[in-house]
Amino acid sequence: MSNEALHPEQSAISHDAFSSDGHGPRARVGVVMSHGFTGSPHGLRDWATHLADAGFTVRMPLLPGHGTTWQDMSTRSWQEWYQAYEASYQELVPLCDTIVTAGLSMGGCLALRLAALKPVAGTVVVNPGLVIDDWRAPLSGLLKHLVKSTPSIANDILKPGVDEGAYTRTPTASVHELHKLFANTRELLPRISTPVHLFRSRTDHIVGDSSVRALQNGLRDGLLDIEWLENSLHVATVDNDAPLIFDGSVRFIDSLGARR
């Protein structure tokens, strides 16, 4: 067992996937969710539980290479991350009349990519990444052979005492995969034809405004709605504004039925 597996900050954290079948009038509305880069479902579990309690059918996978060790993650491709997310979408297809994609950070990128490629009613994203604001990102394909990992990007959270359960190191090879995923998804944004609701933190030390601009420039006019979060940092799903995200996403998903 690796030293990271024994790290005390991980001991009380569950990285398990989340699955809940719906109930009531929202049961035939599915939400497929994704956690972020180096994170796990732990960072979105309260959000997923809120949606499930509201009656939606919810699926959230643990992406390959996540919830294990950063060394494991360094062997995985971005295609594996997306395929795991799409597989959860496919689980919802026979169960639901309507499917919404959702995600945090890299998970938001996956949600947007799926919305560009599959029939969905809409997308909810929290601080989604589409651009890496680091001049070294394009060089990560070379750097991965020289530097195996860099310091963690985890826990950009304003609320005290909260741990999102992400890795304590960031694998350089995975940054290279992330860079490719972002570039691929930016090219697909014009294909999205359904509404996108963006929850955006005013202050975010992980995903910069260049990702927001890429989303605004890539989507068709009138599809993007932005709701600003004033009291949270990047991992807003476990930060002070989490209730705004939880309630706002329910309202947005409900509104999609009215729009149809």
**Residue list for the binding site for substrate:** 37, 106
Strand partners, 150: 170
Amino acid at 124: V
Q: Are 129 and 35 in contact (CB under 8 A)?
A: no
User: How many other C-beta atoms can be found within 10 angstroms of the C-beta atom of residue 146?
Assistant: 8
Catalytic residues: 105, 204, 234
Binding residues: 37, 106
Query: What tokens appear for 239 in the block?
Result: 């930060």
3-state secondary structure the chain: CCCHHHCHHHCCCCCCCEEECCCHHHCCEEEEEECCCCCCHHHHHHHHHHHHHCCCEEEECCCCCCCCCHHHHCCCCHHHHHHHHHHHHHHHCCCCCEEEEEEECHHHHHHHHHHHHCCCCEEEEECCCCCCCCCCHHHHHHHCCCCCEEECCCCCCCCCCCCCCCCCEEEHHHHHHHHHHHHHHHHHHHHCCCCEEEEEECCCCCCCHHHHHHHHHHCCCCCEEEEEECCCCCCHHHCCCHHHHHHHHHHHHHHHHHHC
Strand partners, 201: 229
User: How many other C-beta atoms can be found within 10 angstroms of the C-beta atom of residue 139?
Assistant: 15
